[in-house]
Chain A
Amino acid sequence: MSKLRLRSVSKRYGATVALEYGDLDLEAGEVHVLMGANGSGKSTLSKIIAGSVRPDSGIIELDGKAISITNPQAAREFGVAIFYQELSLAAHRTVAENICLSQLPSTAGVFLDRQKMIEIAERRIAPFLDVVGDGFSVNTQVGQLRADQRQLVEIMKTFAQDADILIFDEPTSALDRAQVECFLNLLREQKAAGRCIVFISHRRDEIFDIGDRITIIRDGRTVSTKVLSETNIDEVLIAMVGEGEAVAEQQSQSLPQRTEIGEIKLVVEDITNDSLQEVGFQVSAGEILGLGGLHGHGQSAILRTIFGVLDLGTGQIFLDGAAKDLNSPRAAIRNGIAYISGDRRRDGIITDRSILENVVPVYALKKHLIAASPNTLGKKARMALELLQSKYESLAHSIGSMSGGNQQKVVVARWLMDAPDILLLDDPTKGIDMATKKELFNLIRELAAQGMAIILYSSEDAELLENADRILVLNNGKIVRELKGSERTRYNLYHAAYEAA
């Protein structure tokens, strides 16, 4: 008998269907992978099980009995714990307080039993002790931790609830390889202990490594469930995008012709600041320069420094041979630099505003516009959006009504309304479905072919290897290796990244 069964669960927000038809069977002792494009309904399905989203219809059965999960507290009592993709941490509370938050140990039911809390927290930290990195202790405030460390705290918090059903919604997106390995080992333990685990990830190696079965969601419907050992990535991808589209995609997959690399556009000399050490390199027009290495070792910092977000420290930046003082994003934009971040919620989308308002700000800055006429601007915006084949109802619609992938397309369109000379890509496809990823990289290669200088950081090695002409491997804020031509192999990339680590 299944541990947990979902039957035709649905959820809509106004006109938007978040989940049309969700069916799921979870067995005790299995890792059940949920896979689907962004906005296909994975997170909604998870949150319905966790009680934080109210389903419109459908049946949930636990051990064969129909239950109603009215809120996260109820879910906890039914033995459900969840890792939230957007994390559920209190930034000013300590690591220990966060790990124990839902079941704070107390004396007399009133006062916090700090000793016991720290014991519990330390027990949960123990398996990760070697990989948590610097500045991590039970008493550190979570807000002072790095992104990967915060993600680990959310993982520990999830495990701390000792639940029978564990849901992990993209738990590894900010983790490096060693941290992922640690986490996957714990998952294996939990699996052996008979717990049932829902696992969501966009990283295919993890999925095939840890998963037992996979359920694929497409456009809000669970379309099929397969045993992972009896399937392969192509079958999964085809199920994700649908039969017809997959064929069309394969035909358009041939790489565009690469033009000759042009003159040098950008020279970076000897940058040393809080996150970088003696970083120097150059990029030419028409070139895609890749930044590789373990996550969080300075790739993003390089891009944010060039874009004027981080302090330049010592060092200099030359554009077309002239030294420039890029002390703010505005200065960088005025000098023809564009920056697209994968963290679109933080850096990209202007929440709840119209698509038009999301597309035009950079253009308005470059053209020194004062008046904003929705008609004239709309025409330009539509042209930029068409380049990306974005799907949207009208420019007046809120960006919140779009799926994650389409939101990112809007952000990209923002920078293409008035083409930049230099394009900085900071893990631009993070958390985006595979179909959109492919489209975006086709576009990026095309832009390079047209003579744009591009620096690309991606947390997925495959994307770097497939797209970059050269790859600089970073370690601890330092460039440790440059991979050119035939050196660009997965082996060399791993080797260089782990060499100094």
Chain B
Amino acid sequence: MDATLTSRGNWQSILGRYPFVPALIILIMLLVFNGMAEPNSLSFRSVNGLFKTYMALMFLAVAQTLVVSAADVDLSLGAILSLVNVTVVTTIGVFGDGPLAIVAACLVGVFVGFLCGLLNGFVVAGLNLQPIVATFATGVLFTGIALWVLPVAGMPVPSAYWRLYGGSVLGIPFIYYILAGLGLAIFLISRTTLMVKILAVGDDQQGAFQSGLPVTRIRISAYAYCGVFSAFAALCITGDTASGDPLVGNAMTLYSIAAVVLGGTALSGGKATLLGAAIGALTIGLINSLVFFVGTPSEWQNLVQGMSILVALMLGIFVSRRVEQ
């Protein structure tokens, strides 16, 4: 064995265990670039702002990863996010805006997300439909329900809600408690037997079934958890935008997929990292802020963002592919 072979072997085992490493490297590079373009962009305040804006996408990316691990995909989670958003806002309107009412409304929202996920799981795994088209259809359904709950955007949430989301508790911005919560959730979920089973299903569904795993039940669980995390994302977006909007999440679905891939998860299933997904979501946020800070003219910003995300996607996949070979 010569040296290059063994070093590649090392990379291989590192990537095998921590598939999010390329994403992390891209993230750090982006941080450095951001700092070079505008030192202020790395200030405590700016970073808080970044987390505040992209926390929803981080949850959404984790949600997407759960189903992608099983080689499924969820094109409805943006719609779930919208539905939960309007449900929470409307429920607060019904319950009143006391702290208990807000907590109750959030719980209702999470439950709605869970139910949506369950429905997705049922149509994809239970009825055996192709995930891309089936969750597109349920997404249309959820959007319809969201429009029924709240036909036009704009119903505000009580100030206590968004003040907490944007404010501090015990001198630490509340957003970091959420971040810690997300981190803990990722840590715990990655260590469950369910996650191993989800990944085994994603690797080879027929093989997992023949090994005696309850494949249908496992896939439904993945979708249900996906729905719950989409609901968490909705709670974040509600805090960020401070209002209800039945279409707020639609554009986020495709971003969640991009974040998942940026994080080092394979869409073909079986190889996934929840932490990577969260990193991937942040990467998208940093790309957008970098494009802004280097002074791109406003009409060019979308194009440069689009191209940078495409390049980052290609780079991440290309690197991990090269290492694997």
Contacts and interface: CB of A to CB of B under 8 A. Distances in A.
Nearest to A106: B193
B192 interface: yes
B254 to A, nearest CB: 25
A266 to B, nearest CB: 29
Interface residues on A, range: 20 to 34
B212 A76 contact: yes
Contacts, number: 78
Interface in B157-208: 188, 191-197, 199-200, 203-204, 206-208
A193 B192 CA distance: 35
A111 interface: yes
B113 to A, nearest CB: 21
A374 to B, nearest CB: 30
B208 A90 contact: yes
B213 interface: yes
B192 A101 contact: no
Given A90-B199, A93-B200, A141 B210 contact: no
B320 to A, nearest CB: 12
Contacts of B213: 73, 101-102
Contacts of A110: 192-194
Contacts of B211: 72, 88, 101-102, 157
Contacts of B12: 144
A111 to B, nearest CB: 5
A88 B207 contact: yes
A111 B191 contact: yes
A104 B212 contact: no
Contacts of A89: 203-204, 207
A112 B193 contact: yes
Given A88-B204, A89-B204, A90-B199, A72 B193 contact: no
Contacts of B194: 110
Contacts of B16: 141, 144
B52 interface: no
A102 B193 CA distance: 11
Contacts of A84: 207, 210
Given A82-B210, A87-B207, A93-B200, 20 more contacts: A71-B209, A71-B212, A73-B213, A89-B207, A90-B207, A91-B204, A92-B270, A93-B199, A97-B200, A101-B197, A101-B200, A101-B208, A101-B211, A106-B193, A110-B193, A110-B194, A111-B193, A112-B191, A112-B193, A112-B196
15 contacts: A72-B212, A75-B212, A88-B208, A90-B199, A91-B204, A92-B270, A93-B203, A97-B196, A98-B200, A101-B213, A102-B211, A102-B212, A104-B196, A112-B192, A144-B12
Interface of A: 50, 52, 71-73, 75-76, 82, 84, 87-93, 97-98, 101-102, 104, 106, 110-112, 141, 144, 157
